[in-house]
Structure 1
Amino acid sequence: MTYRFLKNASVCISFLFISTLSAFALDRIMGHGGPVKDLVVSPNDQLLASVSFDYSVVLWDTQSFQESHRLLGHDASVVTAAFSPNGRFLATGGDDFYTLIWDMNGIWGSEDPSPAAKFLHKGKIANITFSADSKLMASASWDGYIRVWSLEDMSLIAELAGHQGPVNAVQFLNDNTQLLSAGRDGHIRLWDLKEKRNTRSLVRNGWGVNVMHVDEKLRFIAYGTADGAMKIQSLDENDVSVTMASGKDPVLSIQYHPIFQKLAFGTAGGRVVIADMASSSVQNDFHITDGPVWGLTLFDNAEKLAVAGLDDFFTTLPVGISADDIEVEIPANRRFHPQLTTMDNGARQFARKCSVCHSLEPNYKRRAGPTLYGIFGRKAGTAEGYTYSEALKNSDLIWDEITISDLFDHGPDVVTPGSKMPIQVIKNDSDLNDLVLFLKIATAPQN
């Protein structure tokens, strides 16, 4: 089948809109301690992997949505993931500049799985893709490079440079001799892997291209832009394209199911648009959350959708749900969006600076950082249940009013060098004093 395109004058919508009503249920899947950044389903549709700001990867059974495994290995937020087509490998990329390769054969039966390999960039990892034969993996990074790795001996075989700025997306073509990449420079570039060079730009968009997917059978490139456009372009004719949908919010996520030919986009404004590429029709268009849709994936024969964003959970729902049946609400416990009028200044500083990574309760709640419960008088790197960096494990620092003040006055890169804590500095003396006083009261052990 060949995908039929119509030329567009300016903003040309050649898609029909079809609304399908069905019984529905919105399910929140809880398990992370921070915003969920990406979702991906295994080739056999039996596992879903979610990655999070809490530095973790969680594997879920797609029938029961019971947690199967929790994978720890990144030292910063995990932002992207991909399964190899043969199901053997799961790759995860993070703000720690690493792509980790997890061998699924080694995960089963292991209580504490370790990655089979770690691949390094000089910037955050934005996207990961595998070749059709599962022998190669490519990573796109904000360092401006694409790196191609062999999974047979876990070695680097190519480093590609050509984008002006961050590279946001990457995908192999089926013969493994070519690769496409999309970047903040607005280009989608075609690469010859044998010659390791950029042969031409298939797309020259005025705004950055955030996400991209290619279907070689239907001969199209789908991509989403920083100015909110969701576009479809012919893989063969660069001047043949349509705008499937548009809006004011940047497009942040994309997912395509090649068997059922369903395409989904997610935006920074919580909007999801789903298209049936076989019939060239928009199947659904709705808002699912207050905030960004960082990750989405189709599963269960493309009849269900999982959506992730600013919250500690992700949501599953039927693809055919009516927009009228979705009530968008801000969860009352979204701790990093405090109700400013009901908080004193110390609590407000904690909510803004600390709450996304730290709990005040004895259980650290799978946050990116350890619990602060009982922190005063505690030796750094000793809270139970949390995996610390070697730097904090070997530190002699004792947390008290002075050392906590120093941490926010000078920054963790000075006070706790080598730790996983992101840089947070408070220069206003009143705000800093109020935060320390709040922490001393809120973290005191309760008898």
Structure 2
Amino acid sequence: MPTSLRLAALLAALLGLLAGTSRAEAPMRGHGGPVRALAVTADGQRALSGSFDASAILWSVEDGTALRVLRAHDGAVNAVAFLPDGGLLTGGEDGRVILWREGPEPERILATHAGPVSGLAVAPDGRRVASSSWDGSARITPLDGGPALVREGHLGNVNGVAFLPDGRLVTAGYDASVRIWPETGPPLTVPFEAPVNAVAAAPDGEIAAGAADGTLHLLRPDGTSRVRLEIGPRPVVALSLSPDGRRLGAATVGGAVAVVDRAEARVRLTLVGPGLPVWSLAFRGPDELVTGGGDRLVRRWDLATGEPIGPLAMSRPADALAAYAGDRGAEVFRACEACHTLTPDGGNRAGPTLHGVFGRRIATVPGYAYSPAFRRLDIVWTPETIARLFEIGPARFTPGTKMPEQTIGAAEDRAALVRFLEKATR
């Protein structure tokens, strides 16, 4: 080969290597909404993410490229999981758990809930899948098509689910409890001081539970408490265990992730992102963590240094509520901002735009995929109906809603929210 051709080939190879390095060190971009769910394969080569944009993406972690985009859910993808045989699972706001294999279409709907799916777990034997839902239940569904086992008893949303090594099921509830279910008979109920948002089970049977008061609890397999850790003032919303069970990651809506040494029961690292909520996380081996959150990105973190792999800086969106500084109603609305826009050009997010909401009949925003139950309701949005929605909660006022269950206890806060919406949604 002539020298000039050898040099050209060498240069091309070098540029390709540099490009590959650049892709590997960049956050994974592709979702149009916050990244709600994450899972990573045992070999660390692939990741699966679910988003408020109603899609799931299968990634090559090493080079950061999207291998497949999975679209079948009518609403946010809240939970994802890998099966041992390479199958993919997604759970959505539409109440469905969908099984994917090769090809662009789902293989089948594995389970159907009456409310949004909030969590997925694969049994230690790899033959059953557990799903938790805001319909107040958890289901254990055999992959061979056998009948599902339904677990009911929580008073409200079931926010998370996990299998213990012996096959028992653990569920986390909005009713401020963790329940440990034997194969038959009633569950063991462990009470908490705040709603429990996430649960995980270690290889030795220890149970981790993350609560809305910013605490992380480590429970023995019999439900007794080993330790209670203060993670931060903001709610813990997601948990992940390293493959060897030695480290535990706890993500918060405040944007920080605590990495806990489980044996020592202490926080060894705090990963600080751009300040937006971290909704999901998964370990990639013992020394790397993958996170997803409000910035719509999937990020990688080096746990030896506590630093992100690739750039952390991002252009933050303009604060849509800056013009309402000091308005109590605007502050109350911040809990709704992730799912709803206010302006004509804001469009739909996980929830429909609120522009022009007053006087509008329920379930009539163009382009938004409402649940069938929601479309059957006979409600017109007025100051009175919006106040009532937050007084008794969406589950009671609008049965069949995809909206997270939440109430505003103080009448003055409900009134302030209504006054703000009257101004901001004209």
Q: TM-score, normalised by structure 2?
A: 0.71
In the other structure, the counterpart of 1:54 is 53
Cα deviation, residue 339, structure 1: 5.3
Amino acid at match of 2:300: T
Residue number among 406, 410, 413 corresponding to 2:360 in the alignment: 410
Q: How does 1:56-71 map to 2 (within 5 A)?
A: 56-71=55-70
Classify 1:339/1:28 alpha carbon distance in 2 versus 1 (closer, same or farther; 3 Å): farther
Cα deviation, residue 168, structure 1: 1.1
- Any conservation in 2 of the 1:266–1:294 contact (CA below 8 Å)? yes
Return 289-298 or 264-273, whichever deviates more. 289-298
Classify 1:225/1:146 alpha carbon distance in 2 versus 1 (closer, same or farther; 3 Å): same
Classify 1:94/1:357 alpha carbon distance in 2 versus 1 (closer, same or farther; 3 Å): farther
Corresponding position: 1:228 with 2:214: yes
In 1: Cα distance, 2:311 partner to 2:63 partner:
24
In 2: Cα distance, 1:79 partner to 1:356 partner:
23
Return 25-34 or 305-314, whichever deviates more. 25-34
In 2: Cα distance, 1:354 partner to 1:314 partner:
29
In 2: Cα distance, 1:434 partner to 1:181 partner:
39
Cα deviation, residue 293, structure 1: 1.1
Sequence identity percentage: 26
State the secondary structure of the residue aligned to 1:258: coil
In the other structure, the counterpart of 1:283 is 268
Residue number among 91, 102, 109 corresponding to 1:117 in the alignment: 109
State the secondary structure of the residue aligned to 1:321: coil
- Any conservation in 1 of the 2:203–2:244 contact (CA below 8 Å)? no
In 2: Cα distance, 1:417 partner to 1:69 partner:
24
Deviations 1:259-312 (A, max 9, x none): 26221001111111102335544320232232321001111x222212211122
In the other structure, the counterpart of 1:262 is 247
State the secondary structure of the residue aligned to 1:185: coil
In 2: Cα distance, 1:337 partner to 1:94 partner:
28
In the other structure, the counterpart of 1:188 is 178
Q: How does 1:125-144 map to 2 (within 5 A)?
A: 125-144=117-136
Classify 1:163/1:356 alpha carbon distance in 2 versus 1 (closer, same or farther; 3 Å): farther
Corresponding position: 1:318 with 2:302: yes
- Any conservation in 2 of the 1:224–1:230 contact (CA below 8 Å)? yes
In 2: Cα distance, 1:286 partner to 1:419 partner:
36
Residue number among 155, 158, 164 corresponding to 1:167 in the alignment: 158
Amino acid at match of 1:316: R
In the other structure, the counterpart of 2:169 is 179
Higher relative contact order (CA closer than 8 Å, sequence separation 6+): 1
State the secondary structure of the residue aligned to 2:363: helix
- Any conservation in 2 of the 1:144–1:165 contact (CA below 8 Å)? yes
Amino acid at match of 1:114: P
State the secondary structure of the residue aligned to 2:105: coil
Deviations 1:24-70 (A, max 9, x none): x9742211111111111123321101111110000100110111000
Corresponding position: 1:334 with 2:317: yes
In 2: Cα distance, 1:92 partner to 1:354 partner:
32
Amino acid at match of 1:222: A
Q: How does 1:363-382 map to 2 (within 5 A)?
A: none
Corresponding position: 1:91 with 2:76: no
Classify 1:145/1:353 alpha carbon distance in 2 versus 1 (closer, same or farther; 3 Å): farther
In 1: Cα distance, 2:308 partner to 2:117 partner:
37
Corresponding position: 1:206 with 2:164: no
In 1: Cα distance, 2:425 partner to 2:127 partner:
51
Residue ranges of structure 1 left out of the alignment (5+ in a row): 1-24, 342-347, 359-366, 371-403, 437-447
In 1: Cα distance, 2:266 partner to 2:364 partner:
55
Corresponding position: 1:293 with 2:278: yes
Residue number among 148, 153, 156 corresponding to 1:157 in the alignment: 148
- Any conservation in 2 of the 1:26–1:317 contact (CA below 8 Å)? no
Q: How many residues end up aligned between the 2 structures? A: 350
Cα deviation, residue 323, structure 1: 7.2
Amino acid at match of 2:280: G
Deviations 1:182-228 (A, max 9, x none): 111222112123x2x42322x221211111112242x4211111111
In the other structure, the counterpart of 2:404 is none
- Any conservation in 1 of the 2:301–2:308 contact (CA below 8 Å)? no
Classify 1:406/1:163 alpha carbon distance in 2 versus 1 (closer, same or farther; 3 Å): closer
Cα deviation, residue 139, structure 1: 0.8
Deviations 1:373-425 (A, max 9, x none): xxxxxxxxxxxxxxxxxxxxxxxxxxxxxxx9988742462476994499996
Cα deviation, residue 247, structure 1: 2.1
In 2: Cα distance, 1:135 partner to 1:298 partner:
23
In 1: Cα distance, 2:105 partner to 2:161 partner:
27
Deviations 1:314-357 (A, max 9, x none): 2222123347999987x54526746549xxxxxx9x95356665
